[in-house]
Amino acid sequence: MSSTSYQHPLPEVLIAGAGLGGLLMAILLDKIGIPYRILERASQVKALGAVMSLGPHIMPVFEQLGILDDLLKISIKCTSMNLLDESLKPMGSIKMDGQKDMTGYESVLFIRPELTQILLSKVPTSKILLNKQVVTIEDHPEEERVTVHCADGSSYQAALLIGADGTYSSVRQSLYKTLDEKGLLPKEDTKELEVGFACIVGTTGPMDPEKFPVLKDDYGHFDSIIGGVRHNWGACNINNNRFTWGMNLQFTTEAEAKKERFANAEWGPEASTAEMLKEFLDRPCPFSGAKMRDIVEATPPELISKVYHEHKLYETWYHGRTVLIGDACHKLLPASGMGATNAFQDVVVLANCLFDLEDASSKSITAAFQSYYSQRYEKARTAYNASLLMSKIMAGQTWSDRLIRTIFLNYLPHWVQQAELQKTAGYRPQIMFLPLAPTRGTVAPDPQPKCGRYVPPPLVAPS
Ligand SMILES: Cc1cc2nc3c(=O)[nH]c(=O)nc-3n(C[C@H](O)[C@H](O)[C@H](O)COP(=O)(O)OP(=O)(O)OC[C@H]3O[C@@H](n4cnc5c(N)ncnc54)[C@H](O)[C@@H]3O)c2cc1C
Ligand SMILES: *[C@@H]1O[C@H](CO)[C@@H](O)[C@H](O)[C@H]1NC(C)=O
């Protein structure tokens, strides 16, 4: 990398989607020296969304890139999630307090638009083409290129296409259509995303810490309330004296879910938001005897968004010169707070695999994609399974969900929860072609394939 004569064999890469995954991908391609452009559907990189979580499983990468401090500046640490019933009586907590000892890093909460800003500031504006909604893709293996067609009639070509275009990925849909016609798509991948729930999230402006004393704490009180038959909601204090909040409405029938899905496929302010909000406004807020109305009314309307949460783990992540990352290939439920982490882990592992490409032939590219898939699929599956379980515990309303919750909160001793954390603590993949972040904590990071072309810098004794 340091030698100026080296030129990476990939002439150009296209990234579909300037979400969190797409932006980190851009940053890593730039480090490798692979030219790229991003095609983003929106007219601007949107400041939408509310609370998200990142933790030890990705923070070493932020440290490698020199942006860990930026992340911590916008964050509040949070090592437990509390469940309450409708009368605010505690039902139990999910604790992650061993993380720092095991890994050297703690889980934090922050607001999506603020992380977007950090990543966006590292990507030259000229690299992001806005108003470019990818519609179809065509692979031309004999010419070693892929063509991307956009809704405005324009098209782009590249040696490789990375689909980072989220849950309803057009890259995935177009790729799968072609594969299905050729009889190459596994049956699982022909099925739709699975039923989830409707969700409204928001972040208040600064509020009065005298009225809400939890705002004075330097850690997050993540309180989630389970109420009624299909409602759950919650709030958490975050930086700058603000609250971030969310409300979920579960579907009882498939037909109801389908109707809702049709109306709310994407993130954004919606006409139906007000209607759903009404169902929650008079319910108790976990803090200072307030109602949810009090924090909703302190929220700027443009910071409220409604989304429909579905879930699915896809089997097919690549074909030809196209590869999927993030929500485009594994849409987790948000309860486990691992969606962004898994998207970023995809990016890191894919970048490691692309770094070592010897040439731009289909054979080499397929081998790189295969390696990416084999390093990531089982990990994503573990995270997907965990997100389903956490969703049952945090929000589930069926008889069996309640049973699982009761067992989890009341009969699983603290050390069992710790042992679970311990099992996954080693999975902290890093960028193998940059100086590694120092190993911290009692659990060593899992070994990773080395990047052959990279010569690590000599170790310097700390001064
Ligand atoms: C606006 C928004 C708000 C969100 N808010 C939250 C939140 O509050 N909490 C939470 O846990 N998760 C939230 N998420 C989801 C979270 O960002 C993802 O789960 C996770 O970060 C994985 O990121 P990703 O890069 O795979 O996908 P995303 O972050 O969803 O990014 C996908 C990007 O692709 C673009 N795109 C979509 N279709 C096309 C197309 N056809 N052509 C070109 N571009 C396209 C989208 O505009 C978006 O910029 C939000 C996602 C979005 C898009
Ligand atoms: C995930 O859950 C499925 C279905 O319950 C199970 O077959 C699979 O082994 C699990 N995989 C992992 C990695 O946890």
Query: Looking at residues 246-263, what average pLDDT do you find?
Result: 74
Taking the centre of ligand 2 as the mean of its atom positions, its distance from the CA of residue 200, in whole angstroms, is: 30
Q: Whose CA is nearest to atom 37 of ligand 1?
A: 165
* 365 in Cβ contact with 354 (< 8 Å): no
Share of the chain above pLDDT 90, in %: 68
Atom of ligand 1 nearest to the CA of 334: 11
Q: Which residue among 165, 177, 341 has the greatest number of ligand 1 atoms within 8 angstroms of its CB, and so is best to mutate?
A: 165
The whole-chain average pLDDT of the chain stands at 90
Residues sharing a CB contact under 8 Å with residue 271, sequence separation 6 or more, in sequence order:
none
Q: Shortest CA distance to 342 belongs to which of 449, 237, 234, 424?
A: 424
Return the residue matching tokens 């929650």. 280
| Ligand 2 proximity of 217 Cβ (cutoff 6 Å) | no
Rounded to the nearest angstrom, the distance between the alpha carbon of 146 and the centre of ligand 1 is: 23
259 pocket-lining for ligand 2 (C-beta < 6 Å): no
Ligand 1, atom nearest to 339 Cα: 19
Q: What is the pLDDT of residue 307?
A: 83
Q: What percent of the chain has pLDDT over 70?
A: 93
* The two three-digit tokens of residue 146, written as one number: 């892929």
- CA angle, corner 428, sides to 424 and 432, nearest 5? 150
| Residue of 52, 136, 270 to mutate, ligand 1, most atoms within 8 A of C-beta | 52
pLDDT in tens, 256-272: 777 666 555 555 455 57
Q: For residues 417 and 84, what is the distance between their CA atoms, to the nearest angstrom? A: 19
Paired with 305 in beta bridges are: 201
What is the enclosing helix (H) or strand (E) of 293? Answer: helix 292-296
Q: Which residues lie closer than 8 Å to 131 by C-beta, 6 or more apart?
A: 40, 41, 42, 43, 152
Q: What strand order describes the sheet that includes 108-111? A: 51-54, 108-111, 76-77
CA 223 to ligand 2 center in whole angstroms = 29
Q: What is the DSSP string of 337-358?
A: S-HHHHHHHHHHHHHHHHHT--
- Whether 352 shows a pLDDT value over 90: the answer reads yes
Residue 218, number of CB atoms within 10 A of its CB: 8
Query: Closest ligand 2 atom, CA of 381?
Result: 13
- What pLDDT is recorded for position 1? 47
442 Cβ inside 6 Å of ligand 2: no
What number is the average pLDDT over the span 169-196? Answer: 94
- The Å distance, Cα 404 to ligand 2 centre, comes to 17
Q: Which atom of ligand 1 is nearest to the CA of 327?
A: 26
The candidate with the shortest Cα–Cα distance to 162, out of 29, 55, 282, is 29
- Assess whether the C-beta atom of 377 lies below 6 angstroms from ligand 2: no
Distance between CA atoms of residues 8 and 33, nearest Å: 6
On the question of pLDDT at 351 being above 90, the answer is yes
Tell me, what amino acid is at 15? I
Strands ordered across the beta sheet of 90-95 = 90-95, 80-85, 222-227, 231-238, 242-250, 194-203, 304-313, 330-331
Distance CA 84, CA 105 (A): 27
Predicted local distance difference test score (pLDDT) of residue 398:
76
Mean pLDDT in residue range 28-38: 97
Ligand 1: centre distance to CA 72 (Å): 22
Check whether 306 has a pLDDT greater than 50.
Answer: yes
Q: Convert 400-422 to b/e letters by CB count within 10 Å (16 or more is b).
A: ebeeebeebeeeeeeeebbeebb
At 16 the pLDDT is: 98
The count of other CB atoms within 10 Å of the CB of residue 377 is 16
Residue 14: per-residue pLDDT: 98
Q: Which residue has the higher pLDDT, 45 or 124?
A: 124
Between 399 and 293, the more confident residue is 293
Q: Which two tokens stand for residue 399?
A: 């008889």
- The pLDDT confidence band at residue 91, using thresholds 50, 70 and 90, is confident
Q: Higher model confidence: residue 329 or residue 96?
A: 329
Taking the CB of residue 122, how many other CB atoms lie within 10 A of it?
A: 15
State yes or no: pLDDT of 460 exceeds 70: no
Judge if the beta carbon of residue 381 lies within 6 A of ligand 2: yes
- State the average pLDDT over residues 93-117: 91
pLDDT on residue 395: 76
Which of 152 and 452 is assigned the larger pLDDT?
A: 152
Strands 222-227 and 231-238: antiparallel
Amino acid occupying residue 189: D
pLDDT, tens only, 372-381: 999 999 999 9
Structural contact between residues 264 and 308, judged by C-beta atoms closer than 8 angstroms = yes
Is residue 130 predicted with pLDDT exceeding 80?
A: yes
The predicted pLDDT at position 3 comes to 47
Q: Is the CB of 39 under 6 A from ligand 1?
A: yes
Which SS3 state, helix, strand or coil, does residue 138 take? Answer: strand
pLDDT at 200 over 50: yes
Instruction: Quote the ligand 1 centre to 330 CA distance (angstroms).
Output: 12
More confident site: 321 or 461:
321
- Over residues 2-19, the mean pLDDT reads 84
CA of 140 to the centre of ligand 1 (A): 28
Q: Is 252 exposed, middle or buried (0-12, 13-18, 19+ CB in 10 A)?
A: exposed
d(CA 131, CA 362) in angstroms, rounded, equals: 30
- CA–CA separation, 287 and 279 (whole Å): 19
Tell which wins on pLDDT, 141 or 235.
235
Mean pLDDT, to the nearest integer, of 342-368?
96
Q: How far apart are the first and last CA of the chain?
A: 27
Q: Write phi, then psi, for 316 (nearest 5 degrees).
A: -95, 115
Longest dimension (CA), the chain: 68
Q: Are strands 222-227 and 304-313 parallel, antiparallel or unpaired?
A: unpaired
- Residue 76, CB-side half-sphere exposure with 13 Å CA sphere: 22
Question: Among residues 201, 290, 307, which one has the least CA distance to residue 247?
Answer: 201
Would you call 90 exposed, middle or buried from its count of C-beta atoms within 10 A (0-12, 13-18, 19+)? exposed
Ligand 1 centre to CA of 363 (Å) is 31
134 lines ligand 1 (CB under 6 A): yes
Residue 202, token pair as written in the block:
């928001």
113 lines ligand 1 (CB under 6 A): no
User: Whole-model pTM above 0.95?
Assistant: no
User: What does the pLDDT look like over 380-432, one tens digit per residue?
Assistant: 999 999 888 888 887 777 777 878 777 777 776 777 777 778 888 999 999 99
Q: Under DSSP, is residue 311 helix (H, G, I), strand (E, B) or coil?
A: strand
Phi first, then psi: give them for residue 311, nearest 5 degrees: -145, 145
